Chains A and B, each alone.
Chain A
Amino acid sequence: MKRGPTPFNIVSVALGLAFLYLPIVILVVYSFNASRLVTVWGGWSLVWYRELLNDEAILSAAWISFRVAFLSATAATVLGTLAAVSLTRMGRFRGRLLFSGMVYAPLVMPEVITGLSLLLLFVAINVDRGFWTVVIAHTTLTTCFVTVIVQSRLIGFDRSLEEAAMDLGCPPFRTFMTITLPLIVPAIAAGWMLAFSLSLDDLVIASFTTGPGATTLPIRIYSEVRLGVKPEINAICTIMIAVVALGTVISSLITKRGASQREQVALGVQV
């Protein structure tokens, strides 16, 4: 749209953004509050960050979550990219409808259902639950997000480059490696980041599929939060927000190179 924004437009966007950011800002500010009470401002302090450093349970949960997120995001990026290539470059194949159904369904499937069903699968095939079952569960969940992101990039770019290479006798695999892959790398990176942060964030599916010795950070935070607000939780949340904000800035810098605005919008919608 070309016409300028009206005052009403400006106010609604401003209020919307304030609504989205105010609670997060409050959380961050209060993680530096010396007082234990939310309503009492006791001055700036790093006391809750120091407490956090002594909290073995939170730290080990954070380390487990980080490893789960790294492994599952990496696996999901490989699987998701293959799935996106299958759906956009392989034409028709048997079972395609079922395949695309399986790709899109987890995006909207309630987490309690995905979690419960995966747990029952692990019980049925007699696998001990723990670290690796959470990795598998998160890989399954996040693969679909990677697929959608990579797929929208694969649809978005000019296929004539690939066709030219193939016409000149370049085998499909080499065409993919030398032409397609460099063009979709930003989307793959964005997909990995999204998978990583989704895994780091997940409480429900991890609760179902975890076992002894594999308490992830959200599970730990959840059990603390149920008992009430603790300033240490504000501190760990602030650290997580900082990590995610940094990751987002980096990934947006990567995506900016190459992706047009239209595609970014499409990507945002898929997210």
Chain B
Amino acid sequence: MLGERNSRDWGRRVVILVPYLWLAIFFLAPFVIVLKISLSQSVLAQPPYTPVLDLTAGWQGLKTFTAQLSLESFGLLATDSLYLLSYFKSLQVAAISTVLLFALGYPIAYGMARAPRAWQPMLVMAVVLPFWTSFLIRIYAWINILQRDGLLNDVLLRLHIIDTPAAWLSSDTAIYIGMVYSYLPFMVLPLYASLEKMDESLLEAASDLGCPAWKAFWLITFPLSLPGVAAGALLSFIPIVGEFVIPDLLGGSESQMIGQTLWTEFFSNRDWPVASAIAIALLGLLLVPILFYERLQQRSLEGGRA
């Protein structure tokens, strides 16, 4: 009996420990390293930062190591307007895109929830499907349309709406189009999920009592869909702040989003400490929305489905 109990405990431990250790090593530990390197200084060497922690030197090594850590990279972030501007730009793009997504996504989700029951799984599928095709491909598809001799200019010229080809690509407009296009399913699906399970009898009661349809929407439907709004907004806002591919391929070169700045610091300037400091600061920026999102997620997955 005791033996069986033991083996049961062992099985339980293995099931938990295998994914636990994997995530601890490949997800958590890397962040500690990023934090450490963000406190290092850039040097022309391999690896291109100092100090390097030498564990063989024991306690003394650890002490010299700690003494050599510096906040120089963070100081640079706080003083150089290049970094501040790209943080600001990221927040601005993310905020405006989220508002646009909400404005476009809500009518779509609402229409889906109103569709005949039998059609709804198909509509959900139709919204999810583009998400399964490559992100890069979807952005690339827009280059075909937005470039100077692309389809949009072609159509507008033929319709005589414009006389000379307009520069759509390499602009903020192109970034917003790309963001809204890529993140639309992230906004629509949570909204739909909260609208779809709404109790119809509430609206019937309101209408029986003489409440006009628009007022019933505003007083009943919209407040009940707020969890979906929160989930959709967070699922769009958080990744858009750190987005790299969309601004890089569709945006202009005059101002960069923070993901691009990190990329440039790392790949072009080879300044690992500054790149790490940017990552830490970006994480700090996103910490509140990420924690908020995690609570939503945990509540919906572990607290049963309310």
- B164 interface hit (Cβ, 8 Å): no
- A221 interface hit (Cβ, 8 Å): yes
How distant is the Cα of A155 from the Cα of B299 in the complex, in angstroms? 12
- B239 interface hit (Cβ, 8 Å): yes
Q: State whether A269 touches B193 (Cβ < 8 A).
A: yes
How distant is the Cα of A248 from the Cα of B7 in the complex, in angstroms? 40
Determine the chain B residues whose CB is within 8 A of the CB of A140 once the complex forms: 22-23, 26-27
Binary contact track A180-205/B, C-beta < 8 Å → 1, others 0: 00000000000000100100110110
- A79 interface hit (Cβ, 8 Å): yes
Chain A nearest CB: distance from B152 CB in Å? 10
Number of interface residues of B (CB under 8 A): 107
How distant is the Cα of A120 from the Cα of B26 in the complex, in angstroms? 11
- A136 interface hit (Cβ, 8 Å): yes
- A254 interface hit (Cβ, 8 Å): no
Determine the chain A residues whose CB is within 8 A of the CB of B140 once the complex forms: 27, 221, 225, 229, 233, 237
- A32 interface hit (Cβ, 8 Å): no
Interface size class of A (residues with CB under 8 A): 35 or more
24 contacts between A and B (CB under 8 A): A1-B114, A3-B114, A8-B107, A13-B111, A16-B104, A19-B181, A20-B185, A24-B130, A26-B141, A26-B151, A83-B20, A87-B302, A90-B16, A100-B298, A111-B242, A112-B242, A113-B282, A114-B27, A117-B34, A120-B272, A155-B305, A201-B134, A221-B137, A271-B185
Q: Which residues of B contact A (CB under 8 A)?
A: 4, 8, 11-12, 15-16, 18-20, 22-24, 26-31, 33-34, 37, 47, 104-105, 107-108, 110-116, 120-121, 123-138, 140-145, 147, 149-151, 154, 181, 184-185, 188-190, 192-193, 195-196, 198, 200, 203, 231, 234-235, 238-239, 241-245, 249, 259, 262-263, 266-267, 272, 275-276, 279, 282-283, 286, 290, 293-294, 297-298, 301-302, 304-305
